[in-house]
Amino acid sequence: MARKKPAPKPEQELPPREAEPMLITRVIETNYMPYTMSVIVSRALPEIDGFKPSHRKLLYTMYKQGLLKGNRMKSSAVVGATMKLNPHGDGAIYETMVRLTRGNGALLHPFVDSKGNFGKVGSRDMAYAASRYTEVRLEPICQELFDGIDEEMVDMVDNFDGTMKEPALLPTSFPNILVSANTGIAVGMASRICGFNLREVCETAVALIKDPNHNIYSTLKAPDFPTGGELIYDRDALEQVYETGVGSIKVRSVWHYDKEQNCIEVTEIPYTATVEAIIDKTAALVKDGTVKEISDMRNETDLHGLKIAIDLKRGVDPEKLMAKLSRLTPLTDSFPCNFNVIIEGTPNVMGVREILEEWTAWRVMCIERQLYHRLTKMKTRLHLLEGLSKILLDIDKAIAIIRGTEEDSEVIPNLMIGFGIDEEQADFIAEIKLRNINKEYILNRLAETERMRAEIADMEDTLKNRKKIKKIIIDQLTEVAKKYGRDRCTRIVYDAPADEPEEEPAAEAYPVVFFLTREGYFKKITPAALQRSGEQKLKEGDGIVRRVDGTNADDLLFFTDRQQVYKVAADDLSENKVAMLGLYLPQHLGMDPGESVTAMAVAPGGEYRGSVLFVFADGKCARVSLGSYETKTNRRKLTGAYSDKVPLVAAVQLDGDKEVFLRSSADRGLLLNTAMLAPKPTRSTAGVKVMTLKARQTVISAAPAEEMGIKNPTRFRTRTLPAAGALVRAEDLGVEQTTIE
């Protein structure tokens, strides 16, 4: 009988493996810190040659493509070739190229000669054309970036995949780090270097090499920006930037007034500003009434240069207007400096003197490496010529040795034995053409030998003498300043007046009467015009809900059903006649769609005294100080004007304590003495319970008691809160109450 196989045992489930805890400090150390250092050192911050890696890779690619001479090449071809060195994508590479071009105008001395649309540094919205439409080549000044790069002046390192070599730095023959403006944001640090005039930088570098105690302010006057403008000279601010590398430089726009057209034309703006930002900010000031002198403003920038046209109203003083706009718009702006530079792999924030000293030390090393390279090549050449000179003394013997040698491989050994020379010398001699064995060739080689001995001796002496190396650097700086130096783009203003706010002329405080209607119409009418006229003209179905006697110097506050308040000076609102509908506030104040005015408060003479009583449908009241709506700036709209938890019934302005009559949907009334409520500074307070209500009952109206004509007020008064109030009889009220609809 066959035996049954035993049933398989159920597999035992292994206990779940607990995840090992990972400390956040370990994650930061192993993952985040390498990324951080890569961004800081290899991407975002410039090095002593004045370039970030992306700039350097692009320019070196163009140099290897032969674009220092000849015709331009399509930008797309340059971008594609640069991807062999820069793996960050064609978009990032092309953006890097755009900033280096002459067409974009971001640099005092552009490195890329461009053809096509590359946008403008002074425009936020002008987009550059696609790379397939534009063409580029290197500017002549790039010769100063690459001169000596093939003579081991700088280290050549592997690219990202090890398939080719690229320079770790470019051997710039002038302090490009201070000439070309540069901005970079790394992780936890940033760099922002303003540009200086090339001629002034070279002169300062030469002076510091000659005298380390040189006063740099005498030669390096101030930063220079390609967009021009006028730099407001502040010695204290400049000293802070020069000494520490951190500070701020103020630059203002350049403009002139066209009297015939009554128009101001702005032709130069600060480097940190854009045309669109200036126009947008000015338009906002015109809209909120801060600037009333402008009738129109246009961007008229074209191929001839930047131009912002500002049309003025009749009788406007252009000097005063531009002084105001300079305070309130980017027409005057500051360049924040942070001279953070990578030195031997470490970020350092340095002043101007320290940067020039570091550049000089680095440039001395580059010249030394170049001289060593040339010296090595010269010694190798001299060694070959010395062997040749031995052969040339008895050329017939050399010919005899070669002719008498049976095998080709024995020619060089036989020459070595016959003349006592080494293998390199023998190999060089064996390669000489037969036609060169003539008297002229022999004499030229002997003369070359003597000349090279003298050059080698001079070069060795130069390497031992640091002063001679610095003399080479001085000569190069002088030549660069002579070839490429040009006048300053940014003019320096030494006697600029102090930037003090101009006091606005006070509004004339003549008496007026303010009217607010249920539909949101507003009228400002003088008492004389009110007496001469008849009945108020109102929209059908509309009615006046608030009348206040005030002056033209008052501030007006309009509360809306969206818990917002709009502030406006009475002087900014035009006068009306009784026969006019008035200003439609939702449109005039730029309210949100569907928003409507519910109440009006007046701040006499712009002084925010008193309070506002907010009455809510749930029987609560909040007394908010009017000073809570006062602001130091010209803000026109404030949100959170009152609590949004319960619908608002009424907003009553209080100059002092008074009685307010509340009426509920149960036809009960209550006289509230506002002295029982303390003013609150918080606008969004929900208030305290004042009127007791039953389920589904609400407060439906509220108004000052003197406006109601109450016959027997004692019935509705209370000593404690909350209170239910008394039933309202027909004979108790002399007028109907106003409610918020």
Average pLDDT over residues 326-338: 94
pTM beyond cutoff 0.75: no
Q: How many whole angstroms separate alpha carbon 675 and alpha carbon 201?
A: 73
Average pLDDT over residues 561-582: 88
Residue count of the chain:
741
Q: Do residues 716 and 670 lie in contact, with contact meaning Cβ atoms separated by under 8 Å?
A: yes
- pLDDT value at position 698? 94
Which pLDDT tens digit goes with each residue over 464-517?
A: 999 999 999 999 999 999 999 999 999 999 987 655 555 556 677 889 999 999
Q: What percent of the chain has pLDDT over 90?
A: 61
Nearest Cα residue to 496 out of 243, 719, 235: 235
Q: For residue 223, what are the contacts with CB-CB under 8 A and spacing of at least 6? A: 194, 195, 196, 231, 249, 335, 490
Q: For all residues of the chain together, what is the average pLDDT?
A: 89
Per the structure block, which two tokens stand in for 241? 């930037």
Least confidently predicted of 9-13, 165-169, 560-564, 669-673: 9-13
The CB-side HSE value for 172 (13 A sphere, CA atoms) comes to 24
Average pLDDT over residues 212-223: 95
- pLDDT value at position 541? 86
Check pLDDT > 80 for residue 559: yes
- pLDDT value at position 500? 55
Task: Report the Cα–Cα distance between both ends of the chain, in Å, rounded.
Answer: 100
Confidence of residue 304 (pLDDT cuts 50, 70, 90): confident
Least confidently predicted of 22-31, 307-316, 592-601: 22-31
Average pLDDT over residues 444-460: 89
- pLDDT value at position 631? 79
Check pLDDT > 80 for residue 739: no
Nearest Cα residue to 360 out of 258, 472, 248, 274: 472
- pLDDT value at position 398? 84
Is 60 catalytic? The answer is no
Which pLDDT tens digit goes with each residue over 405-428?
A: 888 888 889 888 888 899 898 888
Confidence of residue 1 (pLDDT cuts 50, 70, 90): very low
CATH of domain 254-330: 3.30.1360.40
Residue type at 197?
Answer: N
Q: How many whole angstroms separate alpha carbon 516 and alpha carbon 598?
A: 9
Kindly provide the residue ranges of all beta strands, DSSP E only, lying in 498-610, ordered along the sequence: 511-517, 521-525, 544-551, 555-560, 564-569, 583-584, 597-603
- pLDDT value at position 389? 83
Q: Where are the domains of the chain?
A: 52-168, 254-330, 357-484, 511-727
Least confidently predicted of 128-137, 389-398, 559-568, 638-647: 389-398
- pLDDT value at position 581? 87
Which is higher by pLDDT, 577 or 148?
Answer: 148
The CB-side HSE value for 270 (13 A sphere, CA atoms) comes to 21
Confidence of residue 738 (pLDDT cuts 50, 70, 90): very low
Class of domain 52-168: alpha beta
Confidence of residue 731 (pLDDT cuts 50, 70, 90): confident
Q: Is 85 helix (H, G, I), strand (E, B) or coil?
A: coil
- pLDDT value at position 110? 97
Which is higher by pLDDT, 172 or 719?
Answer: 172
**Choices 1.20.1260.10, 1.10.3720.10, 3.40.50.620, 2.120.10.90: CATH for 511-727:** 2.120.10.90
Confidence of residue 461 (pLDDT cuts 50, 70, 90): very high
Helix axes 466-484, 439-464, angle to 10 degrees: 100
Which pLDDT tens digit goes with each residue over 260-300?
A: 999 999 999 999 999 999 999 999 888 877 888 999 999 99
- pLDDT value at position 605? 86
CATH of domain 357-484: 1.10.268.10
Check pLDDT > 70 for residue 19: no
Residue type at 522?
Answer: F
Q: Do residues 734 and 708 lie in contact, with contact meaning Cβ atoms separated by under 8 Å?
A: yes
| Long-range Cβ pairs for the range 323-328 (8 Å, 24+) | 323/502, 324/291, 324/502, 325/282, 325/285, 325/291, 326/252, 326/253, 326/499, 327/499, 327/501, 327/502, 328/281, 328/285, 328/290, 328/291
Check 32, 63, 128, 133 and give the catalytic one: 133
Q: Do residues 105 and 122 lie in contact, with contact meaning Cβ atoms separated by under 8 Å?
A: yes
Confidence of residue 388 (pLDDT cuts 50, 70, 90): confident
Q: Do residues 180 and 50 lie in contact, with contact meaning Cβ atoms separated by under 8 Å?
A: yes
